[in-house]
Amino acid sequence: MNHGFLKQNGLKRIAPFENGKNCGFRFHSYLGRRRTGMELPMKKLSSLTILVALILSLGIIGGACAEILPPYGEGQIGYLAAILCEKLTLRENPSVSSKVVKILEYGDFLIVVRQSDGWAYCTLGDSEDDPVGWVNADYIAIDPARYRTEAETPVYAWNDTTAPKIGLLDKDTILPILKEEGDWLLVSLRGAVGWIRK
């Protein structure tokens, strides 16, 4: 590299700060300074800048591993709801002693027509032949936004990446979102909950 331009303009190549506490770089005036031998050639600095930019852009692209699906909103019959527990009993009437219509599984969806005193009157489809009945509303999420993974995604015990990992979701897993807090989502996991970073 020709240093004539730098010398004519009173500059020298980039050198580290001399106090030893900072790893940044700055331009030094060439006049009245002695060389430290630690100057970086401009080609290496350019390559380093490109490498850092590439790593940062890959980190940003790689960090996007989910899609938030918005709530459906009210349909012709009612609101779509997701079952949050392992098994949920659909009953004829809003009472735990009422006759069982069907046992529903985690991940099943139903349509909530109306709610009353902690119970939700539901249908399992939009045809007249589909079962109808009451479920305990504490065990469903009515019209939730949903989370769909685009890659394997860790689930944490609380909203911190240093928290214990309690699960690993496969690609294209869809879960109801129960709560959003900053960069974190609380999702339902087969009768439990966990935190996922957006």
What ranges do the domains of the chain cover? 4-62, 79-142, 145-197
pLDDT of res. 43: 52
- What average pLDDT does this structure show over 97-114? 93
Q: Higher confidence at residue 108 or residue 120?
A: 120
Looking at the chain, the whole-number percentage of residues with pLDDT higher than 90 is: 49
Is-same-fold flag (79-142; 145-197)?
Answer: yes
3-state SS, one letter per residue, for the chain: CCCHHHHHCCECCCEECCCCCCCCEECCECCCCCCCCCCCCHHHHHHHHHHHHHHHHHHHHHHCCEEEECCCCCCCCCEEEEECCCEEEEECCCCCCCCEEEEEECCCEEEEEEEECCEEEEECCCCCCCCEEEEEHHHEEECCCEEEECCCEEEECCCCCCCCEEEEECCCCEEEEEEEECCEEEEEECCEEEEEEC
Q: Band of the pLDDT at 40, cuts 50, 70, 90?
A: very low
Residues 69-89: pLDDT tens digits?
A: 888 888 888 999 999 999 999
Does domain 79-142 fall under CATH 2.30.30.40? My reply is: yes
pLDDT of res. 190: 78
Determine the topology of domain 145-197 in CATH. SH3 type barrels. (2.30.30)
Looking at the chain, the whole-number percentage of residues with pLDDT higher than 70 is: 67
pLDDT of res. 152: 93
- What average pLDDT does this structure show over 47-57? 50
